[in-house]
Chain A
Amino acid sequence: MRVQGENYRRDLGIRSYPFLVYALVTLSALVLQAWLPHFLHGHTWFDLPLIVTIYFALSRRDPIQGTIMGAGMGIFEDALTNHAVGVSGIAKSVAGFLSGSVGVRIDVDNFIVRALITFLLSLLSGAIYVLIYRVLLGMDQEWRGLHELMKAVGSSAIAMVLFPLLDMTQIWD
């Protein structure tokens, strides 16, 4: 893992993607996240919206884009549940911000690094989710460590497969 200076981003080509890729990938992630658990007996051992948020934030190396995209994805996810709208939004905003910030300083072309970042940010996102419920809202929300660990592992595994596929759609400036 090479740690680079802040100006390293300028030295690298900024990756960009066609609008259709943005739209289709984000929409597919949201729809599949809601649809796939229906087949998996209710088990949700992955977080596709978080994976997509991390990918685009890392690739674009832009914390602001990661923040806004994470907020949008999270709010959309919350809207499909019976929970308060905004809890996942905050958690994924932070994850997107950190992904973009990390992308500026670290070479994230290595797929193992990207999987590791996905693993850590998945755990962090889950922790923020529970923290907001308990501290900010004062409501009961149990921390299920094993489940969050499985979810982080599942997300990392999907990221290792999905990221190279998405890399093929990028446009080099």
Chain B
Amino acid sequence: MPMSRIESGKFSLALLTGALAAASLALIGSASPAADEERRSQGSLSTGFKFTESTGEQLFTNVCQGCHMPDGGGATGAGNYPSLAKDANLESGGYPVYVVVRGQRAMPPVGAMMSDDQVAAVVNYVRTHFGNQYQDTVTAEDVKRVRP
């Protein structure tokens, strides 16, 4: 379990603003998970049922990291969220496409709230980050084929 990144709950708006400013500074030359979270939080949120984020990075930081965490490392409580870091399961691009579109066990089919392009973008992002280096890409056509 990582050390707690934030000791909050009791803070003022002024403190918050300060924290955001500090995070912006920290972004220079930093890719810390906390900084990622701060940066994303300044973006706009989706306005309907579906996600409006378009790039793989935006989709990861607004959807996937809710469970898989900003560093893709997963988490452990009474159960686990699997780590996506250096993940051999991602070798075949079809597998993550299927899981995102159809869901798996308790994981909701978040791809139902994404276009084919969005699913492809986020899968390609995860397959080339967090220590994954799978250079072949999946396409919107690949996604379309596994839609229920």
Query: Are A and B physically bound partners?
Result: no
